[in-house]
Chains A and B, each alone.
Chain A
Amino acid sequence: MVEYDSPQLDSVFQALSDGTRRRMLRSLSAQPRSVGELAAPFQISLAAASKHIKVLERAGLVQRRIQGRTHLCQLRAEALAEAEQWLQYYQQFWSERLDALEIALRVETTGPAKRKSR
């Protein structure tokens, strides 16, 4: 658990904790979009949309590049991959433990030395 407690990962999960931002990411998973396009489905101002995008940027989930006069936002899949890795850490933790449990139970069954001492 300790291994994956990076501040970066915290900011990823924090960014993902908001519904509007999740929908923005979903929309970006199809293609890069301008700030205006990202704001359009929501009843929010461009400024509010921009605020959300900044949170996503800080978490490394979104990259903004300037193309002519528009700001184009793009999803950074690597940051999401890190979050998935975090989940995989737990997955691995438990499957390793269960493997070890199986071995421990087998040793206990077959090991004759254990029983008599008290």
Chain B
Amino acid sequence: MNAAPPIEVRATHYFEAPPERVFDAWLVPRTLGQWMFGPRVREENVVRLDVDPRVGGSFSLKVERNGAIIDHVGEYLEIERPHRLVFTWAVKGESDDAPSQVRIDIAASSSGCVLTLVHTLEHHARRARRTLLIIHS
């Protein structure tokens, strides 16, 4: 009764591409630099993108934003190409003592696939979401 549901954000997106291509885009540094980070996405430069795409492997996605280096780090927890990818997510030196978790599910559809992303935020915000929902409802 006491276990608070986690604080999470969700995003769903439809792609006109096979699940494999969408899945691989998460694990290939060159591709990551085209959509997740880099000048094409926002005002920042890619410093270095390292991924070790195996369960237990880690990644480090380093960008430079307004002169500050931000290193997004995490570890792959589940890799089931092309349907599921789970990894931890944190900013080095900021939240890596309590990383959040990102889960991605990709389901094939008639002309592409649907990706559902759930980001479970750790932070000490843990139980805040429920409170917010209760107070606002």
Q: Interface on A for B, CB 8 Å cutoff?
A: 1-2, 5, 10, 12-14, 16-17, 19, 22, 25-26, 29, 75, 80, 83-84, 86-87, 90-91, 94-109
Q: A100 and B35 in contact (CB under 8 A), knowing A91-B9, A91-B11, A94-B119?
A: yes
Pairwise interchain contact B15-A13, C-beta atoms closer than 8 A: no
Pair count A-B, CB < 8 A: 98
Pairwise interchain contact A16-B127, C-beta atoms closer than 8 A: yes
Who on chain B is nearest to A103 by CB? B35
Give chain B's interface secondary structure class.
mixed
Q: Decide if B7 is an interface residue (CB 8 Å cutoff).
A: yes
Q: A87 and B94 in contact (CB under 8 A), knowing A13-B124, A98-B117?
A: no
B-side interface size class: 35 or more
Who on chain B is nearest to A30 by CB? B135
Q: Interface on B for A, CB 8 Å cutoff?
A: 2, 7, 9-11, 13, 15-17, 21-22, 25, 31, 34-36, 40-41, 65, 68, 70, 91, 94-95, 115, 117, 119, 121, 123-129, 131-132, 134-136
Pairwise interchain contact A94-B9, C-beta atoms closer than 8 A: yes
Residues of B within 8 A of A94 (CB): 9, 11, 117, 119
Q: A101 and B35 in contact (CB under 8 A), knowing A17-B127, A26-B135?
A: yes
Pairwise interchain contact A5-B94, C-beta atoms closer than 8 A: yes
CA distance A75 to B127 in the complex (A): 18
Pairwise interchain contact A98-B127, C-beta atoms closer than 8 A: no
Whole-angstrom distance from the CB of B35 to the nearest CB of chain A? Answer: 4
Cross-interface CB contact of A29 among B2, B119, B135, cutoff 8 Å:
B135
Residues of A within 8 A of B34 (CB): 100, 104, 107-108
